[in-house]
Chains A and B, each alone.
Chain A
Amino acid sequence: MNVEVAAERFVALVGPSGCGKSTTLSLIAGLDRPTSGTVTVRGKPVTGIGDGVGFLFQRDALLPWKTVRDNVRLPLQLRGVEAAEARSRVGEWIGRVGLRGFESAFPYQLSGGMRKRVALAQTLVYDPEILLMDEPFSALDVQTRNLMEGELLALWQGSGKTVIFVTHDLEEAIALADEVVVMTAGPASVKARYDVTLPRPRDIEQARFDPRFTELYSKTWNDLRDEVLESYARANAAG
């Protein structure tokens, strides 16, 4: 598999389950080592966990024993950011994700959507240049999900961050990204890449009714469908 992602772009990786989307993210983050080949970030091979990388997981990754405030503060604490500055940045980001008033709540006291907001604040508070997102909203209900997608775009717009967003939801991919990369059923390789020409800043709700959206959707779905069918057949044969 060979993909380059240009800086400051919002790229969505779509593909059938088990095609190695999540593994790709782990490799870029430096959480896993490749068995062969290299991953480079900003021209340098990845040998460990990068400094400027943020990761949003599909599963809840907040520390259940820390309050919202302490969860958001943790990356700054780990980076040795001075206390007064950390406090103001934490306060700012809790405000920006709309959780003012919940600073002292523990994760179990929050809804799934609110926990995702905390996770978003926890990742953005240390200002990573690259955001890796592994189906971050797939566990949310549809309404919350649309809301979170809109907020993600609003937070990303103009931030200059590169986003690699893994999803199996084509609609989500097109609505959010500048570019959609369709992966094959495996062994992981790139089937096709599409530029999303929808204008920025983008309104998620409006974007879905844009004729360009529908056109791109049917194109990418054609590619994806073959791969999904193949992956399904393979899973059945294996099972």
Chain B
Amino acid sequence: MSESGVSVRALRKSFRSFRRRQEVLQGIDLDVAPGEVVGLIGPNGAGKTTLMSCLLGFLHPDSGDITIDGRANDDLGVRRRTGFVPERMNFDRGATGWNFLRYMARLAGVPGGEVDARCRAMLERLGLTPAADKRLSQYSRGMLQRIGMCQALIHEPAFVFLDEPTSGLDPNGVLLVRDLITEQKQRGAAVLLNSHQLAEVEKVCDRVVFLHRGVIQHAETLRHTDRIIVAVTLLPGSFDVATVERITGVAAQENVVIVTVETQEAIAALVRDLVAGNVGIVDVRRHTADLESIFRGAA
């Protein structure tokens, strides 16, 4: 699997049209470690697609460094371990799903003897087996997104770049993509997810980077590896503020108390102590940053 993930340093990119020069990326620093899912969010025109294009070698940066696993991003060894899902799947629409996927698998370097088995498995996993012999022109937008995921993951890449992978998908498709992203993370892949779906980003990403006008304006860790932040909502009128503060170590804000613990077991122990202290509990959930507030505040 990947050794050093994706690294971007002082990346700048500008576009020229006639005499105007527009600097779209203004010194981006970004890291995506192996086994980490990083979300890229930001308003339209923030530079997310340009950043993704530079990372994948579609665009040439003005300055700065991009390394993937310590090598240049156009290194063939790196490409062999890279998967990419574009926002819109554009390909020869006359090809059948099966032929398209076989072609992509062979190009990605899947060994000849494994191509058919892997194609079948991916189509089955993404629920496209019944549509395998249909032409891509007959696929819906959601089906194209699914086959896009198939071609990106068929060679079990170590570096996965996803551009709006859930756009056009039904709720089942969204859940499927969420599971696939989690699987990539568990495999140890470094995943960069560009999405406008803040709820999705919140659910799957370990870290989120907010890009605005070509600069990273905010970076937030959603899931810490060494601690868990829990929000416990208390039943109004059922608790004594001092008791809650004694048990949890922090003061409740209105009816919510946000506690940092180290393990899952500590959450159970905390709940037990609160219940033993006659504190009514309405809800217990992992606490993550409010991406909507970040988005609104920074945009």
Asked if chains A and B come from one complex, the reply is no
